[in-house]
């Protein structure tokens, strides 16, 4: 009587073992294929860089002079015919090739850039666009016709984009010349600067440090003088953080201000409710961003953007820019403010606007904000310290929306391919544990280091349905989103070493 149950148990164990073995074998085969695909893509990238290094071994004295000019000066000299589009584009290619040897910011130089510049030079002055001959660098995840946009993922290699991104299409119509693509962290869900395909980008101001992310290559290349203006993207700081790390200027516009159509999805975040990614300007100076934005958002340019339903067709308003030079009411703060901390600190008489006890800013950050506030005050603006409402709750909700699926969509994209633990190791390791384990880990980290950091271990635990997340978003969006009476704010981002 015991023979049949024992036989069944043996068969069940055997089938389970066979299933496990086959599954492991398939996963190993998939991993080997992904590694081969990555190596082939790396070789293709090396060949591209090598071709341009051969063509442009070192910038000439004239090319260095041209590459040293800022956007407004370049634009004016191109308009007057003092420089040709070919001279400017080749100068920046040569400078980018030189800079890239140290910082590894460029993933690909575009073969058609010089021929496009020659075509622009052949146009009559009357038919030239407002961005005639201006070289532009692009973050690698922005679509270019016929090229892949990998975001550092093996699954995206050799998957050609069907057409240019709407951003690129309009830039070309305005006379700009995209000349290279720049590096980013794997999935873009990181403030780091590396991925398994193109490697790690370094900060030109200190090669032992990173340039920040996720628009890493853009910031590094502009800071090194290899580009004058470029475009990154920003969901949670991806143009602002690398600009701060690298010493350049960036602007994250309001979502919908620039066309989004034609981007590889950051970390697989498709259709996420409440989080709005946006293309962002990056340049050497605020004047460069203003010159670029003014032409890109001119009424005639805005009317060309027809492929993106999310785009708000609002043209540049010169009267609003001029109004900004009048007296403004500007609030400043330095750190994430925790409501409970504020109440206790105020009762104890120890409250400070530049230290919340959780994520203290560095002395340099505090000094920079206070110096900016003093300069604005000297120019006649009303400047005051203030407490932003519920930033801790908003920060927590942001995290909930970001990992509402338990980081599942991103993990699916990483499945079978090489993973970059420098950029994503913390997230991968944390969300590989069951929720119960992460609760204990989060409590420990919260007690030893920071409550906010501890909460990040279980952001997917509090709200398990779309309805709950929508309700939280509506609650905090309406309660705190428009509660600030100032029209401008000064703050800094946290610098991670």
Residue 162 and residue 297 in one domain: yes
pLDDT given for residue 13 in this prediction: 73
pLDDT tens-digit series, residues 225-273: 999 999 999 988 999 999 999 999 999 998 889 998 898 865 445 556 6
Residue count of the chain, please give it.
Answer: 497
Which of 44-48, 169-173, 318-322, 396-400 bottoms out in mean pLDDT, i.e. has the lowest? 318-322
**How many angstroms separate the CA atoms of 336 and 316, rounded?**
32
Buried b (16+ CB within 10 A) or exposed e, 407-425: bebbbebbebbbbbebbbe
Residue 474 and residue 339 in one domain: no
Catalytic residue among 194, 238, 246, 423: 238
Residue 495 within any structural domain of the chain: no
pLDDT given for residue 462 in this prediction: 61
Residue 400 within any structural domain of the chain: yes
Any bridge partners for residue 231, and if so which?
138, 281
Check if 238 is active-site.
yes
Residue 198 and residue 255 in one domain: yes
pLDDT classification of 482: cutoffs 50, 70, 90: very low
Report pTM.
Answer: 0.88
Residue 160 and residue 309 in one domain: yes
Which of 73 and 396 is assigned the larger pLDDT?
A: 73
The stretches of 349-434 forming alpha helices (DSSP H) are 363-378, 391-402, 408-414, 421-430
Catalytic residue among 75, 95, 137, 139: 139
Residue 263 and residue 351 in one domain: no
Catalytic residue among 190, 193, 194, 214: 214
Residue 361 and residue 475 in one domain: no
Residue 134 within any structural domain of the chain: yes
The CATH code of the domain that includes 223 is: 3.90.1300.10
- Are 201 and 220 in contact by the 8 Å Cβ rule? The answer is yes
Residue 355 within any structural domain of the chain: yes
What are the Cα distances from residue 444, in Å, to 298, 393, 437, 453, 457? 53, 20, 11, 10, 10
Looking at the chain, the number of H-run helices and the number of E-run strands are 19, 11
The number of folded domains in the chain is 4
Residue 190 and residue 120 in one domain: yes
Residue 244 and residue 364 in one domain: no
Domain end among 295, 323, 351 = 323
Q: Which two tokens stand for residue 307?
A: 């492929």
Domain region containing 453: 392-480
pLDDT tens-digit series, residues 320-362: 666 656 788 888 877 655 544 445 445 545 445 555 555 667 7
Query: Residue written as tokens 């600030």?
Result: 484
pLDDT given for residue 325 in this prediction: 64
Residue 62 within any structural domain of the chain: yes
Residue 185 and residue 62 in one domain: yes
Q: Is the dihedral of CA 308, 314, 318, 322 positive or negative?
A: negative
């Amino acid at each position: 009587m015991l023979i049949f149950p024992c036989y069944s148990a043996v068969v069940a164990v055997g089938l389970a073992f066979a299933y496990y073995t086959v599954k492991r074998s398939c996963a190993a085969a998939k991993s080997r294929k992904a590694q081969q695909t990555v190596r082939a893509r790396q070789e293709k990238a090396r060949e591209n860089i090598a071709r341009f290094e051969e063509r442009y071994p070192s910038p000439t004295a004239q090319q260095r002079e041209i590459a040293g000019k800022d956007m407004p000066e370049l634009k004016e000299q191109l308009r007057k015919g003092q420089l040709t589009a070919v001279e400017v584009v080749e100068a920046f290619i040569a400078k980018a090739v030189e800079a890239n040897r140290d910082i590894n910011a460029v993933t690909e130089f575009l073969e058609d850039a010089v021929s496009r510049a020659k075509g622009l030079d052949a146009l009559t002055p009357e038919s030239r666009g407002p961005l005639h001959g201006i070289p532009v660098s692009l973050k690698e995840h922005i679509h270019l016709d016929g090229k892949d946009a990998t975001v550092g993922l093996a699954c995206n290699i050799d998957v050609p984009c069907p057409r240019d991104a709407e951003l690129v299409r309009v830039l070309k119509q305005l006379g700009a010349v995209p000349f290279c693509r720049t590096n980013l962290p794997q999935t873009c869900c990181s403030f780091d600067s590396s991925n398994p395909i193109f490697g790690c980008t370094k900060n030109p101001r200190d090669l032992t440090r990173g340039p920040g992310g996720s628009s890493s290559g853009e910031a590094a290349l502009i800071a090194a003088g290899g580009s004058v203006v470029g475009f990154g993207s920003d969901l949670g700081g991806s143009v602002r953080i690398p600009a701060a790390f690298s010493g350049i200027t960036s602007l994250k516009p309001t979502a919908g201000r620039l066309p989004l159509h034609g981007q590889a999805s950051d970390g697989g975040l498709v259709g996420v409710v409440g989080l709005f990614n946006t293309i962002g300007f990056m340049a050497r100076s605020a004047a460069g961003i203003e010159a670029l934005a003014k032409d890109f958002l001119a009424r005639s340019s805005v009317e060309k953007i027809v492929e993106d339903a999310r785009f708000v067709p609002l043209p540049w308003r010169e009267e609003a820019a001029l109004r900004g030079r009048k007296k403004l009411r500007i609030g400043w703060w330095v750190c994430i403010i925790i409501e409970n901390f504020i109440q206790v600190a105020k009762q104890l008489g120890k409250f400070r606007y530049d230290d919340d006890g959780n994520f203290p800013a560095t002395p340099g950050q505090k000094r920079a904000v206070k110096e900016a506030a003093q300069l604005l005050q000297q120019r006649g603006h009303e400047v005051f310290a203030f407490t932003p409402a519920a930033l801790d709750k908003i920060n927590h909700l942001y995290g909930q929306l970001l990992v509402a699926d338990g980081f599942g969509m991103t993990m699916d994209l990483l499945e079978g391919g090489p993973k970059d633990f420098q950029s994503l190791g913390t997230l991968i390791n944390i969300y590989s544990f069951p929720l119960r384990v992460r609760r204990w880990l989060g409590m420990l980290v919260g007690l030893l280091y920071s409550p906010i950091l501890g909460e990040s271990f279980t952001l997917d635990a509090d709200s398990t349905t779309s309805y709950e997340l929508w309700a939280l978003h509506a609650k905090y969006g309406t309660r705190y989103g428009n509660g600030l009476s100032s029209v401008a704010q000064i703050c800094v981002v946290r610098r991670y070493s």
